[in-house]
């Protein structure tokens, strides 16, 4: 079975959050457990700053020729209404690109991308989506539209993604809760949604830093005493960071005097200022709250391992990976009794009501005041973390993909002329030179399985004409030698085919 995985979930800003972690870890797990299955990876060339790193990350795991890059036709971010027609065109071209790889199944790692960047994600807009599976993280914006879909453009973009989601043959939910939520919210047949769970990277284990390393960690972040930690995995209102700060302010004076609250998360300047103002309004001294900003995985593991307690106060999650990461590092963990988080933590006495700051404060105080309770949480957390593994998740995903492959006709491309006619029939797609050039470039990047690989030979300035002629007449096996030359047009240099120039080679 040929599995084509769209890896854009590891290319956008999501690569800094749980979606990016999930995308990379699940793909590696699938590769480890693929057996006789053939795995191909597809990347977005417009998100080029991540392409080299992903290629390097899968070197030795996936043959280079099985990592393919499609090129969108210019700027396609949907926040720019002028880009909407190009985005619709890009959706069709991307689906045709993947179909030309002749997959038995397609796996989309993150569908809800492309509002602020040039990611492209769709299902069934040009190629039938019956053999496409999509990772389902959550439906939080759908269920909280007033909060997350405030502008008409955001709402339109998101709802288009929901329609694509409905056209997918399978949804692979990251938790049992996410599966049940999707069945209810999307009104889909239960057998179309499979819970495959998640896990943490194997690097998340208790760190044992040297005294010098621990001192450096403390110095870097201004840690002067034991700290209560939260790593929300992103920042928006559902992460409930103001609620956590309010709860911390309610702790007994002795506990506050002996601890600090550390929040490890990428924050905008505005978000940082708002949290600092909220802390000040609730009576926290400047050195009581530490906002680290973005930290690397190695630094995150060090912080987890050094924390006196990890608190996860989120109001709504599809899974809740930071809580599992902290447990794997041996940290006592408490969290919200809502959505998927009880499924992750798996211990009733570790839960609290996230909408009641006094309940959060009471649970924090209970752990910090009772060493036996803290030890019990550590022991439970390490055992709970072992119940989740990427190999198990990958095997569940593979079983779902194998099942999907037997439900409908194989994924096959449509005739090239059908794609050209569909593009030509788009009334809002501009026909200016820049748009046509971008479309031509995007179409030129489509794979052609029947065509031989090309060896491009620059004949702009030839020192050894005989050698060039020999290469043109007798190229390496399985390749076609094609002469090209460098020329400038409008101040921009391009390579062009140079068959006439090749005929004029001296000698």
Q: How far apart, in whole angstroms, are the C-alpha atoms of residue 487 and residue 204?
A: 52
pTM across the whole model: 0.84
Q: Does residue 406 share a domain with residue 378? A: no
Q: Does residue 139 share a domain with residue 14? A: yes
Flag whether 442 is in a domain. Answer: no
For the record, the structure tokens of 98 come out as: 């993947």
Q: Does residue 14 share a domain with residue 115? A: yes
Q: Does residue 271 share a domain with residue 193? A: no
Q: What Rg, from alpha-carbon coordinates, does the chain have?
A: 26
Structure letter (DSSP) for residue 309: E
Flag whether 206 is in a domain. Answer: no
**pLDDT for res 451:** 62
Q: Does residue 167 share a domain with residue 62? A: yes
The predicted-structure confidence for 325-341, as pLDDT tens digits, reads as follows 999 999 999 999 999 99
Flag whether 499 is in a domain. Answer: yes
The predicted-structure confidence for 439-477, as pLDDT tens digits, reads as follows 999 999 999 766 666 788 887 766 677 777 788 888 888
Flag whether 361 is in a domain. Answer: yes
**pLDDT for res 434:** 86
**pLDDT for res 448:** 79
Residue 486: how many CA atoms within 13 Å on its side-chain side?
Answer: 8
How many distinct helices (H) and strands (E) make up the chain?
Answer: 21, 16
Q: What is the DSSP string of 405-474?
A: HTSSPPP-PPPHHHHHHHHHT-TTS--SHHHHHHHHHHHHTS--TTSPEEEEEE-SS-S-HHHHHHHHHS
Q: Does residue 424 share a domain with residue 280? A: no
Q: What's the domain count of the chain?
A: 3
Q: Helix/strand/coil (H, E, C) string of 105-121?
A: EEEECCCCCCCCCCCCC
How much of the chain exceeds pLDDT 90, in percent? 78
The predicted-structure confidence for 144-202, as pLDDT tens digits, reads as follows 999 999 899 999 999 999 999 999 999 999 999 999 999 999 999 999 999 999 999 88
Q: Does residue 248 share a domain with residue 170? A: no
Q: How far apart, in whole angstroms, are the C-alpha atoms of residue 132 and residue 348?
A: 38
279-to-248, 287, 294, 332, 357 alpha-carbon distances in Å: 9, 11, 20, 24, 14
Q: How far apart, in whole angstroms, are the C-alpha atoms of residue 230 and residue 252?
A: 19
Flag whether 119 is in a domain. Answer: yes
Q: Does residue 117 share a domain with residue 225? A: no
Q: What is the mean pLDDT of the chain?
A: 92
Task: Tell me which residue range forms the domain holding 32.
Answer: 2-199+391-433
Flag whether 439 is in a domain. Answer: no
Domain boundary among 387, 402, 421: 387
Q: Does residue 301 share a domain with residue 284? A: yes
Flag whether 148 is in a domain. Answer: yes
Q: Helix/strand/coil (H, E, C) string of 259-299?
A: CEEEECCCCCHHHHHHHHHHHHHCCCCHHHEEECCCCCHHH
Q: Does residue 412 share a domain with residue 376? A: no
Q: How far apart, in whole angstroms, are the C-alpha atoms of residue 468 and residue 465?
A: 5
Q: Does residue 291 share a domain with residue 183? A: no
CATH number at residue 358: 3.40.50.2000
Q: Does residue 181 share a domain with residue 109? A: yes
The predicted-structure confidence for 64-107, as pLDDT tens digits, reads as follows 999 999 999 999 998 888 888 999 999 999 999 999 999 999 99
């Amino acid at each position: 079975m040929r599995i084509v995985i769209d890896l854009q979930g590891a290319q956008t800003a999501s690569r800094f959050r749980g979606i990016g972690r999930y995308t990379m870890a699940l793909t590696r797990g699938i590769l480890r457990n693929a057996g006789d299955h053939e795995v191909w990876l597809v990347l977005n060339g417009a998100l080029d700053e991540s392409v080299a790193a992903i290629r390097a990350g899968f070197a030795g795991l996936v043959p280079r020729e099985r990592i393919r890059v499609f090129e969108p036709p210019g700027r396609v971010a949907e926040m720019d209404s002028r880009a909407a027609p190009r985005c619709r065109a890009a959706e069709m071209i991307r689906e045709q690109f993947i179909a030309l790889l002749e997959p038995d199944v397609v796996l989309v790692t993150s569908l809800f991308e492309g509002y602020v960047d040039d990611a492209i994600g769709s299902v069934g807009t040009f190629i039938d989506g019956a053999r496409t599976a999509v990772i389902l993280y959550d439906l939080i914006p759908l269920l909280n539209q007033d909060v997350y879909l405030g502008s008409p453009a955001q709402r339109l973009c998101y709802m288009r993604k929901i329609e694509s989601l409905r056209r997918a043959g399978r949804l692979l939910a990251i938790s049992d809760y996410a599966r049940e939520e999707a069945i209810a919210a999307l009104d889909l047949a239960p057998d179309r949604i499979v819970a495959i769970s998640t896990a943490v990277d194997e690097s998340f284990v208790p760190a044992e830093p040297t005294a010098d390393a621990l001192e450096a960690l403390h110095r870097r972040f201004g840690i002067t005493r034991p700290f209560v930690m939260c790593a929300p995995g992103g920042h928006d209102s559902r992460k409930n960071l103001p609620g956590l700060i309010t709860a911390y302010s309610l702790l007994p004076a002795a506990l506050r005097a002996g601890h600090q609250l550390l929040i490890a998360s990428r924050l905008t300047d505005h978000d940082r200022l708002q949290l600092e103002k909220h802390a000040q309004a609730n009576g926290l001294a400047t050195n009581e709250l530490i906002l680290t900003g973005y930290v690397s995985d190695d630094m995150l593991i060090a912080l987890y391992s050094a924390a006196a307690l990890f608190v996860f106060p989120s109001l709504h999650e599809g899974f809740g990976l930071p809580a599992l990461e902290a447990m794997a590092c041996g940290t006592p963990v408490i969290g919200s009794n809502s959505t998927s988080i009880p499924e992750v933590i798996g211990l009733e006495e570790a839960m609290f009501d996230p909408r009641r700051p006094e309940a959060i404060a009471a649970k924090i105080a209970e752990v910090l005041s009772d060493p036996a309770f803290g030890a019990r949480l550590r022991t439970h957390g390490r055992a709970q973390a072992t119940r989740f593994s990427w190999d198990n998740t990958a095997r569940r995903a593979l079983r779902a993909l194998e099942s999907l492959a037997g439900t409908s006709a194989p994924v096959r491309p449509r005739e090239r002329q059908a794609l050209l006619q569909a593009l030509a029939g788009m009334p809002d797609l501009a026909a200016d030179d820049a748009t046509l050039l971008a479309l031509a470039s995007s179409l030129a990047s489509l794979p052609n399985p029947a065509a031989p690989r090309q060896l491009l030979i620059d004949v702009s300035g030839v020192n050894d004409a005989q050698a060039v002629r020999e290469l043109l007449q007798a190229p390496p096996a399985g390749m076609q030698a094609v002469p090209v030359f460098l020329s400038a047009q409008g101040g921009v240099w391009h390579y062009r085919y140079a068959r006439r120039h090749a005929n004029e080679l001296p000698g």
